[in-house]
Amino acid sequence: KLSNRLQLVLEQIPQGSTVADIGSDHALLPVAAVASGRVPSAVAGEVNPGPFEAARRGVAEAGLGKVIAVRRGDGLEVLEPGEADCITIAGMGGALIASILDRGLSLGKLEGVKTLALQPNVGEDILRRWLLNHGWVLTAEHILEEDGKIYEILTAVREEDAEGITNEQLYRDFQLAGGTVCDRELLLEMGPWLLQAPNAAFFAKWQGEIAKLQGILTSLTRSEQVSAEERRNQIAAQINQIVEVLACLP
């Protein structure tokens, strides 16, 4: 059975699309996507030899060797332009996912891709910024807690396919009930859709971030340096902003 995390990534794949799962490891996601009838065929890409072999084994054991191509290569290199209409990348840092997309873009490998379903482990803001800067619009964001870890899943389509959702709208500054302004930077950090419909995992994530920042603040308080004072003020302001935002959410 798939983890709830990968199940939620799977649910972002449009029915009937051709999916490429990059950094597929055991190929659990493409195997489940094909076996469940969601997609007719898939590509599993892996750069490292161990996970590549694991993906080959996973596909062979599922008896899906004819419909899932397992390929070894870096990022989107494994794709022919136009081959996949949905790309999934899960379980890596946001910066690595953004660099894979960047390189794929310059190689023309995003041609024909309509949907991106991405699950960064950290650095979600980096990925949101990449999407925003490259003409992709978030159509959904999910956050869940599993086995003590919190995961976010970002789903994006191209601006022209976003059916009325625009980045302008998604990242427009707005004022919370208490007067705090949610600006673009904060929306990139916290997620425009997640902020609209926060769940328990969202609150847990940001309570955790507050605790981390407070830890940094405590260690800086022991420092006598002038530069530490500036940094302290910055962090204190960051904490206040998060606290105020959380207090104003439904």
Q: Return residues touching ligand SAM (CB under 6 A).
A: 6, 22-25, 45-48, 51, 74-75, 90-92, 100
Tokens of 197: 């419909």
| Bridge partners of residue 152, in order along the sequence | 143
3-class secondary structure, 19: strand
> What are the φ and ψ backbone dihedral angles of 86, each rounded to 5 degrees?
-135, 135
Task: Specify the residue, 156 or 245, whose C-beta has the smaller distance to ligand SAM.
Answer: 156
Give me the least distance between CB of 149 and ligand SAM, in Å please: 12
- Is the Cβ of residue 68 or residue 90 nearer to ligand SAM in the bound state? 90
User: Closest separation between CB of residue 85 and ligand SAM, Å?
Assistant: 19
**Pick 100 or 157: Cβ nearer ligand SAM:** 100
Strands 68-72 and 136-146 come out as unpaired
Cβ proximity to ligand SAM, 91 vs 112, nearer residue: 91
110 backbone dihedrals φ, ψ, rounded to 5°: -90, 0
Q: How far is the CB of 243 from ligand SAM (least distance, A)?
A: 32
Q: Under a CB-based contact definition with an 8 Å cutoff, are residues 118 and 89 in contact?
A: yes
Q: How far is the CB of 88 from ligand SAM (least distance, A)?
A: 8
Residues counted in the chain: 250
